[in-house]
Amino acid sequence: MSTKTIYGIFDDEQLLLSSVKEIRSNNIEIEEVYCPFPVHGLDKALDLKETRIAITSFIYGCLGLILGSLMIYYMMQVDWPQNIGGKPNWTFYHNVPAFVPVLFECTVLFSAHLMSITFLIRCCLFPGGTSDSPDKRTTDDKFLMVINVDSDTSSVKEMLTKTGATEINEKEA
């Protein structure tokens, strides 16, 4: 038996949300949803896991702090310690108050950049990448739901129409 892909297109995010809930309560799996803007509550309705990207940012920040400290320690204490303006640089812990601004900047630098890079990699976004959205109106004003169906497509289509889809397309997989 062939698998068919059904695209349900909605005009309104409220209808989309209630439709997602309705379809999922009937044990039909939704493959993907494409939206022109972030719809609040959609991740809960689709039962998506919470993203862990904020945790990575914390880890990268710690990494930046450690690398920044090591850099300053090596340059100011190990490799070439100097007595600048009567303030000697023999020990790190005595001088650390003066290093706070740079350590802070290193933390933010690593945290922000590496998190953004992680985001791009996890979402497979890269310069020149191509969009896999089945309908290009999804970046404008349409909300699109993708459902893969093995057997009878009519019940799914009916459910989509009933919950407010304005357009339903079908594609043989």
Partner 1 sequence: MQKEATIRDPLILGKKSYHDITKDVARPVEGKANKYWWILFSLSFVLFLWGVLSIAYTVGTGIGVWGLNKTVNWAWDITNFVWWIGIGHAGTLISAVLLLFRQKWRMSINRSAEAMTIFAVVQAALFPIIHMGRPWLAYYVFPIPNQFGSLWMNFNSPLIWDVFAISTYFSVSVVFWYIGLIPDFAMIRDRMSATISPMKKQLYSFLSFGWSGKAKHWQRFEEVSLVLAGLATPLVFSVHSIVSMDFATSIIPGWHTTIFPPYFVLGALFSGFAMVETLLIIMRKVVNLESYITIKHIEYMNIIILLTGSLVGTAYITELFMSWYSGVEFEQYAFLNRATGPYWWAYAIMMTCNVLTPQLYWFKSIRTSFVATFVLSIFINIGMWFERFVIIVTSLHRDYLPSAWSMFSPTFIDIGIFLGTIGFFFTLFLLYSRTFPVIAQAELKSILKSSGSEYKNKK
In the complex, the residues that contact partner 1 under the rule CB under 8 A are 13-14, 32-43, 46, 48, 51, 53-54, 57, 71-72, 75-76, 79-80, 82, 84, 87, 89, 95, 98-99, 101-102, 104-106, 108-109, 111-113, 115-116, 119-120, 122-133, 136-141
Our CB check for partner 1 shows the closer of 74 and 158 to be 74
Token pair for 12:
């309104």
Q: Shortest Cβ distance from residue 85 to partner 1 (Å)?
A: 8
Q: How far is the CB of 20 from partner 1 (least distance, A)?
A: 9
Measured distance CA(128)–CA(11) in Å, rounded:
29
Phi and psi (nearest 5°) for 118? -60, -45
Separation between Cα atoms, residue 96 and residue 105, nearest integer Å: 14
- Measured from the CB atom, is 62 or 98 closer to partner 1? 98
Residue 31 beta carbon to partner 1: minimum distance, rounded to whole angstroms:
10
Residue 169 DSSP one-character state: E
Residues 6+ apart with CB under 8 A from 126: 120
Shortest distance, CB of residue 154 to partner 1, whole angstroms?
26
- Name which of 99 and 168 has its Cβ closer to partner 1: 99
CA distance 32 to 46: 9
Whole-angstrom CA distances from 121 to 31, 99, 126, 169 are 21, 33, 8, 31
Q: What is the C-alpha separation between 96 and 90, in angstroms, rounded? A: 11
Q: How far is the CB of 141 from partner 1 (least distance, A)?
A: 4
- Comparing CB distances to partner 1, the nearer of 29 and 132 is 132
Q: How far apart are the C-alpha atoms of 51 and 43, rounded to whole Å?
A: 10
Instruction: Give whichever of 94 and 158 is closer to partner 1, judged by the CB atom.
Output: 94
